């Protein structure tokens, strides 16, 4: 069953970085919409025993970026869809580092060069909690969807900047998101 852990160890690091999907959850401070986003591709990295980061790829919204800018609250969750049942949640304070910022430049070499990358979201972990995952189904990964990367390549840098300006400046609740 579940337990609270002090820090991320090597076994957890390997397991998390091997998962084909993880989820991030955030919410504005005062009402508004709770957001849960699935994340895929090779976009997650453990930075240290109490710190992780992921590439934030272009999407139809920028809720997580807006929420961490407003209040920092962020949860990252992993589920085992193969092997022993396991769910792992990382709770903490998120920071968004947009393309072109100093911290983005420090971290980006840890990740593959994925088209459409607009930020790196870093999580300073305050709580690590596992749970059983007994109800999570077994599932097989057939392949990653190429659609987002194909779309981002077609847009190109100028098209992405225009898209970010039109679609990613604010959250659905009107909070500031990307600075473009």
- Torsion, CA 91, CA 97, CA 99, CA 101, rounded to 10: -160
> Is the pLDDT at 133 greater than 70, yes or no?
yes
> Is the pLDDT at 53 greater than 90, yes or no?
yes
141-179 residues labelled b (16+ CB within 10 A) or e (exposed): eeeeeeebeeebeebeeeebeebbeeebeebebebebbe
Can you give the pTM of this predicted structure?
0.96
How high is the pLDDT of residue 66?
98
Q: Where are the domains of the chain?
A: 3-167
**How many percent of the chain have pLDDT more than 90?**
98
How high is the pLDDT of residue 1?
67
CA dist 24 and 35 (Å) reads 8
Q: Does domain 3-167 have CATH number 2.30.110.10?
A: yes
What are 110's strand-pairing partners? none
Q: 175, 67 in Cβ contact below 8 A?
A: yes
How high is the pLDDT of residue 80?
97
> Is the pLDDT at 167 greater than 70, yes or no?
yes
DSSP 8-state symbol, 61: -
The pLDDT tens digits for 59-106 are: 999 999 999 999 999 999 999 999 999 999 999 999 999 999 999 999
CA dist 82 and 69 (Å) reads 35
Q: Please, which pLDDT band fits residue 180 given cuts at 50, 70 and 90? A: confident
What are 37's strand-pairing partners? 24
Average pLDDT over residues 143-163: 96
Residue 154, both tokens? 């077609």
């Amino acid at each position: 069953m579940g337990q609270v852990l002090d820090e991320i160890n090597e076994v957890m690091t390997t397991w998390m970085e091997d998962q084909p999907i993880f989820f991030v959850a955030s919410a504005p401070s005062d009402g508004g919409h709770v957001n849960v986003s699935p994340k895929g591709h090779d976009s997650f990295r453990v930075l240290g025993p109490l710190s992780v980061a992921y590439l934030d790829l272009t999407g139809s919204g920028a809720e997580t970026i807006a929420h961490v800018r407003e209040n920092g609250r962020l949860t990252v969750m992993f589920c085992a869809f193969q092997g022993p049942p396991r769910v792992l949640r990382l709770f903490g304070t998120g920071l968004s580092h947009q393309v072109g910022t100093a911290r983005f430049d420090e971290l980006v070499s840890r990740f593959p060069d994925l088209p459409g990358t607009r930020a790196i979201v870093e999580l300073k972990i305050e709580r690590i909690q596992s749970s059983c995952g007994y109800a999570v189904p077994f599932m097989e990964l057939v392949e990653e969807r190429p659609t987002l990367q194909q779309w981002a390549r077609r847009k190109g840098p100028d098209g992405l900047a225009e898209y970010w300006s039109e679609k990613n400046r604010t959250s659905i609740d009107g909070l500031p998101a990307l600075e473009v």
